[in-house]
Amino acid sequence: MTTVESSIPLMPTLTIFNRRVTQRIGRAEGMTKRWLITGCSSGLGLALAARLAAEGEQVVATARRSETLDGLVARHPGNVVAAALDVRDPEQCTAAVERAVDAFGGVDVLVNNAAYGQFGTFEEVSDAELAAQFDTNVFGPWRLTRAVLPVWRAQQRGHAVFVSSVAGMVPFPGLAAYTASKFAVEGAAESLAAEAGHLGVKVTILQPGGFATGYSANLVMPEHRIADYVPVNDGMLGALRGMNTKAEINSPELFADVVWRLGQMDAPPLRLPIGPDSEAFLESAYDARRSEYDQVIKAGHHTVS
């Protein structure tokens, strides 16, 4: 995967953009919400965009190749517009927000969905592979949300939705880089919630379990494998690649339904598990962390005697 340099646009450019966007912002009519969604070419993003459009919402659907969205736009004329967006590209992030403002007068909900999985243990993943993973999964949502925030400050409202994973709390062998990126996304989202709540900005972290998407087929393998880790990570790799054949796998339509309902909430939660498997994973993780915490405190390891 080619990595786009994570450069920050010059401040004069940001100032001009912010002023231009603020002048064009309008309010959505009635209860209709205006959504900007990344990663809509397939899977969860496509299912969500289609569901929202069917509900009469206004959607800016994005993908690295916008022509993959032609069918979606054709099925929902007037409700869906497409935009080319590689979240690694700061200029495309700015352009996507401008597209939303031009088309619908603003953005009510941003769904940071675009991501991919880098496979490999901690030692196997190179600096370049780790940087590429973070550029898409962490820096991408950060730079796009940063581009939307001037719109929300002018509107005095907005909802940032970050698609994390159960891996944002539960480490899985062979997914060290992916897990680290999801932990980072959750930390960034919580920081945004603490910093921008007084501006009317709401934040939700989605924690999906396993879904029938192209995630497993699109896993990026590390350039260098280490035989000593085969007993740990090859079982996980096999489970991931066979995930879509399981009868109990969650459907993208479940994700779309949950997020659609989330968008209607006046007081959305900070964290929202999606799928029964997510509930089981997270409950076990919370219990284990609480148990260890209680044991450490009880033993007095946190103080100097």
- Cα–Cα dist 258/262, whole Å: 6
- Cα–Cα dist 221/223, whole Å: 6
Two tokens at 265? 């909430």
Q: Which pTM was predicted?
A: 0.88
- For residue range 221-262, what is the model confidence (pLDDT) as tens digits? 999 999 999 999 888 898 888 887 777 788 999 999 999 999
Amino acid at 302: H
How high is the pLDDT of residue 16?
A: 42
Q: Is the pLDDT of residue 6 over 60?
A: no
- Cα–Cα dist 2/113, whole Å: 19
Catalytic, 164? Answer yes
- Cα–Cα dist 185/166, whole Å: 12
**Residue 218's pLDDT band (boundaries 50, 70, 90)?**
confident
Catalytic residue among 178, 181, 202, 278: 178
- Cα–Cα dist 25/58, whole Å: 15
Q: What is the mean pLDDT of residues 273-292?
A: 92
The Cα-based distances of 121 to 14, 89, 126, 181 in angstroms read 39, 28, 10, 14
Catalytic residue among 41, 164, 165, 216: 164
**Residue 214's pLDDT band (boundaries 50, 70, 90)?**
confident
How high is the pLDDT of residue 243?
A: 80
- Cα–Cα dist 14/98, whole Å: 12
How high is the pLDDT of residue 3?
A: 37
Catalytic residue among 33, 165, 181, 182: 182
Per the prediction, the chain carries an average pLDDT of: 89
Nearest to 87 by CA among 112, 110, 107: 112
- For residue range 174-210, what is the model confidence (pLDDT) as tens digits? 999 999 999 999 999 999 999 999 999 999 999 999 8
- For residue range 257-281, what is the model confidence (pLDDT) as tens digits? 999 999 999 999 999 999 999 899 9
Catalytic, 178? Answer yes
